Amino acid sequence: MAIVNDAIEVTEKSLTAVPLTIDGAAILHQMMRVRWPDWKKLSRSQQSEIAAEFATAFQGPEQEGQSALYSLLGHKGDLLLLHFRNSFEELNAAELRLNQLRIEEFLEPVSSYLSVIELGLYESSVKLYRSLAEKGIEPHTPEWKREVERVLERQREAMRPRLFPKLPGARYLNFYPMDRRRGEQKNWYSLPIEERQRQMEEHGQVGRRYAGAVQQIISGSIGFDNWEWGVDLFADDALVFKKLIYEMRFDEVSATYALFGPFYVGIRCPMARVQELLSGALPSR
C-alpha cells in the first residue's frame, strides 16, 4: 500500500500547473460616444451619406459575421463596435478603416478591449500530464513537448468551429472582463490543477443549463489588456444574462475567486440602419 501511495504522490507532484489552451479568432470591442451636438448640425443628406459609408465599410459578403454594431444602454457609451477577425493584423486594419471614415469625426472612444477566443483544456491537461508523469517523462523535455503538441493539434482541429465562429446574430450582447483572484488569502493560481479542473467543471455545468438560450464566447486577454478574460454573452432575451450570471455567482469558482470588471449591455443594430439609430430611433429586427 505504501508503494502505491508513493506512486500516486509522485504523480500528483509531477503534474504541471499550467493548463493547456487553444486559441482562435482575435476580438476587438470598441466602445464610443457620439458627439451629438456636432452630428445634429449635419443635414439629413449629409447624415445619410456618412452612415452609408460606414455601413459599406463593415458589411457585405466578405465581412459577413465579422463585425457588429450595438446601441449601448447607460452612461458608459453610445455605441459598441465588435469585430471578430483571424489575426491582430486584420483587427488593426478594421480599426484603421474606421479611422478613415467620415463618421469618425463624430465618435469619441471611451474604452476598448482586445482578446483572442480561448478554450481551456483542463480535463485533457490533467489526463495528459498524469499519463506523462506515470511514464517518467519530465515536463518541458522534447518528448513532453511533442506529446503536448499532438494533443493541442488534435483539439484545434476538433474545436475549429468554436475557435473561429461567426459573430452571433442575437438581439442582445452582454460583455464584461474578469479576473481570477490572486490575493494573499485566496489565490486561484496557487491551487493544484486538479482542484481548478474540478471547480471549472462545476462552473461549466451552470452554463450548459442555458444552452439554446444564450451563446457564450470566452476570450483570453492575459498580456493583451487589463483583465485576464473577456466574456461575451449573446441572447434574444436580455433577462437571461441576469439569470445566468446570478446563478453562476453561487458556484465555488465564482463565489471565491472571481473578480468582475464593468458590464456593457447593447442592442444589435444592423449596419445598414445606422442612420436610423443616429436619428434617435433604434431599428427593429
Active site residues: 176
Question: Could you tell me if 102 and 53 are in contact, meaning their C-beta atoms sit under 8 angstroms apart?
Answer: yes
Question: Which cell numbers in the block locate residue 231?
Answer: 466574456
Question: Rounded to whole angstroms, how far apart are CA atoms 32 and 108?
Answer: 5
Question: Rounded to whole angstroms, how far apart are CA atoms 285 and 269?
Answer: 8
Amino acid at 195: E
Name the H helices within 25-137.
36-40, 44-57, 88-100, 122-134
Classify residue 257 by burial, with Cβ atoms within 10 Å: 0-12, 13-18, 19+. Answer: buried
| Integer CA distances (angstroms), 97 to 15, 58, 107, 161, 280, in order | 46, 9, 14, 27, 25
Q: Which residues contact 284 (CB under 8 A, 6 or more apart)?
A: none
Per DSSP (E only), the strands in 58-106 are 67-72, 79-85
| Integer CA distances (angstroms), 96 to 37, 92, 117, in order | 25, 6, 22
Question: Which cell numbers in the block locate residue 103?
Answer: 463618421
